[in-house]
C-alpha cells in the first residue's frame, strides 16, 4: 500500500495560550492521494515520528472522503 499523503511543507508557529503562556505548534501542508492540499496543525507534544503520521493520515482520508461526496 502506497502513501496516502505527501508532506509538502512544515512551519513552526507559536501562539499565546490561554493558560500556559507561549504554545508551539506545527502546521503541515499535505497533498492527499486524491490531490487535495490541506493544512493540518499538530501540537508540539504530538510532533514526533510516532504520533504525527496517524494525525496526518486521518486528515488526508477525511479530505479525500469529502472530495468524493
| Residue range(s) defining the domain that contains residue 37 | 5-68
C-alpha cell at 46: 504530538
Total count of domains within the chain: 1
**Considering the entire predicted model, what is its pTM?**
0.87
pLDDT at position 2: 55
HEC profile for the chain?
CCCCEEEEEEEEEEEECCCCCEEEEEEEEEEECCCCEEEEEEEHHHCCCCCHHHHHHHHHHHHHHHHHC
Q: What is the pLDDT of residues 1-39, one digit of tens each?
A: 457 999 999 999 999 988 778 999 999 999 999 999 999
Q: What is the pLDDT of residues 30-66, one digit of tens each?
A: 999 999 999 999 999 999 999 999 999 999 999 999 9
Amino acid at each position: 500500500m502506497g502513501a496516502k499523503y505527501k508532506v509538502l511543507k512544515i512551519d513552526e508557529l507559536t501562539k499565546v495560550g490561554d493558560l500556559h503562556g507561549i504554545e508551539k505548534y506545527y502546521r503541515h501542508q499535505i497533498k492527499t492521494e486524491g490531490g487535495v492540499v490541506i493544512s493540518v496543525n499538530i501540537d508540539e507534544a504530538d510532533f514526533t515520528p510516532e504520533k504525527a503520521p496517524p494525525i496526518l493520515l486521518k486528515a488526508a482520508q477525511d479530505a479525500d472522503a469529502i472530495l468524493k461526496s
